[in-house]
């Protein structure tokens, strides 16, 4: 693994210019921003992705994870509960929801 989050962010920024408003690009960029601890920017991208492609379990779980980092626990649980309904028994969703419930 290259462990180049900044390089990944630069590529995702370019992809967003080439194909704006692509939910997959926005979710991916949101996750990279989360790894870089740019939580508000991550949340902004994940919110946009959710508008473009609502009810995507991966986007909702990712957004719930970012909200957890921002200590927005009820919002995190709301997203994670919704993701669990869409895609039941997803280990990532359940782990993240368990982390929120421990807070």
What's the number of domains the chain is made of? 1
pLDDT at 65: 96
pLDDT at 1: 59
Q: What is the domain extent for residue 74?
A: 5-102
Alpha-carbon distance of 30 to 7, in angstroms, equals: 14
For the domain that residue 18 is a member of, what is the CATH number?
Answer: 1.25.40.10
**Reported confidence tier of residue 82, pLDDT bands at 50, 70, 90:** very high
Average pLDDT across the chain, whole number: 95
Is the whole model's pTM more than 0.75, yes or no? Answer: yes
Query: In Å, how far from its chain's centre is CA 93?
Result: 11
């Amino acid at each position: 693994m290259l462990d180049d989050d900044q390089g990944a962010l630069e590529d995702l920024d370019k992809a967003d210019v080439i194909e704006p408003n692509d939910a997959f690009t926005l979710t991916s960029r949101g996750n990279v921003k989360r790894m870089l601890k740019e939580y508000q920017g991550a949340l902004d991208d994940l919110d946009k992705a959710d508008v473009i492609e609502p009810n995507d379990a991966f986007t909702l779980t990712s957004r719930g994870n970012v909200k957890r980092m921002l200590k927005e626990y009820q919002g995190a649980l709301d997203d994670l509960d919704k993701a669990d309904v869409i895609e039941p028994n997803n280990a990532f969703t359940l782990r993240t929801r368990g982390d929120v419930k421990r807070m």
